[in-house]
Structure 1
Amino acid sequence: MSKNYRILDLIRRNRSPLENHLIDGLVDGRVSRRDFIRHGSLLGLSLPLLGGITTAAGLGAMPSLVRAQGAPGATIRVASSVPAATIDPVTIADAGGLLIMQQVAEFLCVDGPDRGRKPALAESWKPNDNGSVWTFKLRKGVKFHSGGEMKADDVVASIDRIADPANSSNALSVFTGILSKGASKKVDDYTVEFHLDAPNGNFPYMVSSDNYNAVIVPASYKGDYEKSFDGTGPFKIDKYTPKVGASFVRNEGYWGEKALPE
């Protein structure tokens, strides 16, 4: 496919120097399509815009994803290892506990096509000019299983917990030297700023599903997660018996597509 320089010029007019540098790299062949989508999503470029740029650069449209279907009224049964310790989003590190937590709790963003980030509890994110401050816009109307709306206070408290050395979170291996306790700031109910210790272009990965401790739970969380399993995920806990198993029901108030099976 040939390049559409007119469209590329129109797109470039409203982009930052950092974004235009990335676009130039794609057009010149110095940046692969895969790396362009990955780094572009980190800079906050939406998937439709990324697709428009790759098309204008002569690389074709982004592929669509096919969603699997389930049988009406069916039950999903999954064998899993037993959680090795109390399930706590701040310190959890074992496969059995993570499998349970990931049904009920969510991240600001998640893995997307070509290793980019896809919006989840955050609708968008964008760095300042040097990548030392990242601003995340939160999705409105997202409800915790307990009924309260997820807002900036919950995000700030959740990230502060895992950035606090006193809590011994596994996330410290990711955050040390990059994000300190108290550096997550509420701008308004649906906007959070992260003020980094040093500029970092990969920060969205650190508050995404790549960092399994970075789930968002209510600001009121006191370390008793197994009593409530309160989150925003597509499933709610129905019954949990340590060392035995867990059962879930669909979250009918989920903000996204209803979980399968129908």
Structure 2
Amino acid sequence: MRASRPKVAVAAIAVAALAVAGCAESDREEGSSGSKKDTLVFGVAGDPKVLDPSLASDGESLRVARQVFETLIRAEDGGTKPSPGLAESWTPDSTGTVWTFKLRSGVKFHDGTDFNAEAVCVNFNRWYNAKGLMQSPDVTAYWQDVMGGYAQNESPDLGESLFKSCTATDPTTVDLAFTRVSSKIPAALMLPSFSIHSPKALEEYKASDVTGTAEDIKYPSYALEHPTGTGPFKFKAWDVANKTLTIERNEDYWGDKAKLKTLIFKTISDENARKQALRSGDIQGYDLVGPADVEPLKGEGFNMLTRPAFNILYLAINQSGNPKLADLKVRQAIAHALNRQALVDSKLPPGAQVAVNFFPDTVEGWNGDVTKYDYNPEKAKQLLAEAGASNLTLKFHYPTEVTRPYMPNPKDLFELLSADLKAVGITIEAIPLKWSPDYLNATTSGKNHDLHFLGWTGDYGDGYNFIGTFFDRKKDEWGFTNAALFEQFKDADSTADPAARTEKYKAINKTIMDFLPGVPISHSPPAIVLGKDVTGVTASPLTDERFATAEFKS
């Protein structure tokens, strides 16, 4: 979720036809009874990029997908552990490479067709057999993060696919086979990118016909106008001009029906504007509440939900951009120069913590017995001198026009960190860039960046989802090759026993903090706020809030 991804998919959306007058509905509209409000408008910081979660990597697209689509496995409500979704149960065979899923019966897609084992296989085969631009990391980022490759790889950068085959043994039983044991299975199947779509809709609206180039992606109509899942809400309209996306209750939902009739996501990019819209009643909730607004809004009676900290803000050091950064002493100097506690105390919400590892202590494998880098400017100066880098100049990228759960005000954070670095004699060249696509493209590819900060909100409750995403192979963001570290990851990922794998994660965390490819900064508990009369929503560490249970107090 939510979170930064290796690449940014740039949607070329020409969908004027989606501007539907119904998007202007207000929360003041009464239900058929004439007394109960049943439309909720929720403020979001940015537009979704695409409505097909298979092709999405941005948090706003996935927020919508979580209401419209369902996965075989879902995260427990308010937590990170796997729980039943479209599958009621799942078990591995003796090798740990074939998983059998027992599916729910009586489930239908929004187009009225049946959900069954064959539908599951249609979806997995669609992803596995992707061709052309569908193999670009700009398009299918999560498939590549989890599965690695495809049936026929078209790029030498792609590895062997973790996924092997899907077999429908009967209408409610499906076997998913994998090429090896992996820590990612089955937990990664909770990701919205593995949502199950209607095979009929996929075919009718040519869902895999992604065209254009990686810089100018042209999505098919399925991904912009016809997303078809099994969830408690179904797509109604996307009014791009008015920055609203409307979904409505699925009256034929297999489980408890949504209590709201209509849910509207309204893009309000400015944080203060979201706050004012809440106070005026134009919206009934919003995400990414500024740390300074948490207590005042709570004091006014608004329903403030604080997510558990399940994220990381880090300072990345690119070793391929500047040869001095390949020197461990220089990286250690940078770490000792940063007053991370002051940043946490002054710029992050209550409950934020200085990071010791690249994932929070709520994740198995966290290791408190690693090399720590206390705030020590004099030691930083000494290390720079020993490395012959006392006159070091670094390009420091930071993002604009964005708020993330781990990064409430990027410019403020940049100013604090750069001041710390300047205080030990490092000259900083500031490079502000618009978050999407400029900043993400600049910092996750190429050699033009020395320092930048990014972060991650976990997708599921396994340590590999954090540190493996960053460091399990050579990546342009970090610009290093460390064969021994990469081998540690490979060994841990293929360890079937969770307890043994946890110990290997602890060892990897120690290796990472000795090698110091970057500096883990902090973990933040981001907040989501709802109207004074809105109840029923549970905060999720995965940003997996489910609005089907939301309702207005009578």
> Hey, what's the Cα distance between the residues in 2 that align with 1:72 and 1:122?
34
Matched with 2:224 is 226
Structure 1 contact 136–193 (Cα < 8 Å) conserved = yes
Residue from 75, 82, 107 that aligns with 2:71: 107
The Cα offsets for residues 120-156 of structure 1, whole Å up to 9 and x where unpaired, read as: 1111110001211000011001111110111112111
> Hey, what's the Cα distance between the residues in 2 that align with 1:75 and 1:151?
32
Judging changes above 3 Å, is the alpha-carbon distance between structure 1 residues 105 and 201 closer, same or farther for their aligned structure 2 residues?
same
Aligned-residue offset at 1:235: 0.7
Aligned-residue offset at 1:252: 1.3
Judging changes above 3 Å, is the alpha-carbon distance between structure 1 residues 201 and 130 closer, same or farther for their aligned structure 2 residues?
farther
The Cα offsets for residues 180-204 of structure 1, whole Å up to 9 and x where unpaired, read as: 3x61121121111111101236411
Does residue 208 of structure 2 align to residue 245 of structure 1?
no
Structure 1 contact 82–97 (Cα < 8 Å) conserved = no
TM-score if structure 2 supplies the norm length?
A: 0.32
> Hey, what's the Cα distance between the residues in 1 that align with 2:167 and 2:47?
33
Structure 1 contact 251–258 (Cα < 8 Å) conserved = yes
Amino acid at match of 2:110: H
> Hey, what's the Cα distance between the residues in 2 that align with 1:188 and 1:237?
30
Structure 1 contact 105–232 (Cα < 8 Å) conserved = yes
> Hey, what's the Cα distance between the residues in 2 that align with 1:200 and 1:128?
14
SS of match in other structure, 1:183: strand
Judging changes above 3 Å, is the alpha-carbon distance between structure 1 residues 159 and 72 closer, same or farther for their aligned structure 2 residues?
farther
Does residue 162 of structure 2 align to residue 179 of structure 1?
yes
Structure 1 contact 108–215 (Cα < 8 Å) conserved = yes
TM-score if structure 1 supplies the norm length?
A: 0.65
Aligned-residue offset at 1:81: 3.5
Larger Rg: 2
Unaligned runs of 5+ residues in structure 1 are: 1-70
Matched with 2:114 is 149
The 5 Å alignment of 1:1-262 reads 72-83=36-47, 85-112=49-76, 115-164=80-129, 166=131, 167-168=134-135, 169-170=140-141, 171-176=143-148, 177=160, 179-180=162-163, 183-200=165-182, 202-208=184-190, 211-220=191-200, 221=202, 222-223=206-207, 224-242=222-240, 244-261=243-260
> Hey, what's the Cα distance between the residues in 2 that align with 1:190 and 1:98?
27
Range that drifts further, 229-238 or 217-226:
217-226
The Cα offsets for residues 42-79 of structure 1, whole Å up to 9 and x where unpaired, read as: xxxxxxxxxxxxxxxxxxxxxxxxxxxxx943321111
- Give the number of equivalent residue pairs: 189
Amino acid at match of 1:253: D
SS of match in other structure, 2:193: coil
The Cα offsets for residues 188-247 of structure 1, whole Å up to 9 and x where unpaired, read as: 211111111012364111211xx2310000123021232222110101122222352111
SS of match in other structure, 1:102: helix
Judging changes above 3 Å, is the alpha-carbon distance between structure 1 residues 116 and 96 closer, same or farther for their aligned structure 2 residues?
closer
Amino acid at match of 2:233: F
Amino acid at match of 2:100: T
Judging changes above 3 Å, is the alpha-carbon distance between structure 1 residues 121 and 242 closer, same or farther for their aligned structure 2 residues?
same
> Hey, what's the Cα distance between the residues in 1 that align with 2:144 and 2:130?
7
The Cα offsets for residues 80-106 of structure 1, whole Å up to 9 and x where unpaired, read as: 234353332221111222222222111
